Amino acid sequence: MDHAAIVFGAVALITAGTAPAGDDVARDFMPATIVLAATGGHFNKWQKDLPCTSGVFNTDLQISDPDYNSTWETASQIVLRSKSGAAVFQVRTVQHASPMAANLVIRDGGQGEILHRDFQTTFNFEKSNHVAVSWNASGMIKVSINDGDTHDVSLDQPLVSLELVGSGGKAVFSSASVNCTNAQ
């Protein structure tokens, strides 16, 4: 083996090791599609500890198949938790139909609401909607629906887990991914 081959091999190994650690950590964080279906006032959820202190969760979310026999509305939540609280982004039907209602809620560890903010949304019932949720190491969370207005809240502490919830019908999170901007 000549010296050029050894040098090239060493450079290739060093370069391969400089890929962003956050992206490597998040690559296998979650399945690309998560289907959560529940009726009769029940819910289903998927939850996992976050692989990074700051990043972006992207998904195409479709809410459908409302349980018309339930007193609970068809809803979906994206929950980011810290050690002592949670930021909850919720989209739900109003009387089991469009238009959808959306809100951001901050809850303390005992599930009591500290902040509740309703807002207008371009979210479409029974159609795919792009949702982007970003967070940073200090607990600032920003939510955007269909690349529209951004809504933000802060937990003032690092986030530790991501939870997806579906109730009163079917919630499909497709093209789901987490891209880390800072690995834990």
Between 131 and 65, name the one with better pLDDT: 131
pLDDT of 19 higher than 60: no
Contact 78, 131 (CB under 8 A): yes
pLDDT of residue 4: 38
Nearest-angstrom CA–CA distance, 154 and 136: 10
Residues of 2-40 as b/e, b for ≥16 C-beta within 10 angstroms? eeeeeeeeeeeeeeeeeeeebeebbeebbeeebebbbbe
Task: Show the tokens assigned to 46.
Answer: 């998927």
Q: What angle do CA 134, 21, 46 make, to 5 degrees?
A: 50
| 2: confidence class by pLDDT, cuts 50, 70, 90 | very low
Alpha-carbon torsion 58, 170, 41, 66, what sign? positive
**pTM for this prediction:** 0.81
> For residue range 28-75, what is the model confidence (pLDDT) as tens digits?
899 999 999 988 778 999 999 999 999 999 999 998 888 877 777 888
Q: Residue 135: is its pLDDT beyond 90? A: yes
Please state the rounded mean pLDDT for residues 114-120.
82
CA atoms within 13 A on the CB side of 165: 19
In angstroms, rounded to a whole number, what is the distance separating the alpha carbons of residues 27 and 51?
10
42-53 pLDDT, tens per residue? 899 999 999 999
Could you tell me which of 33, 38, 88 has the C-alpha nearest to residue 64?
A: 38
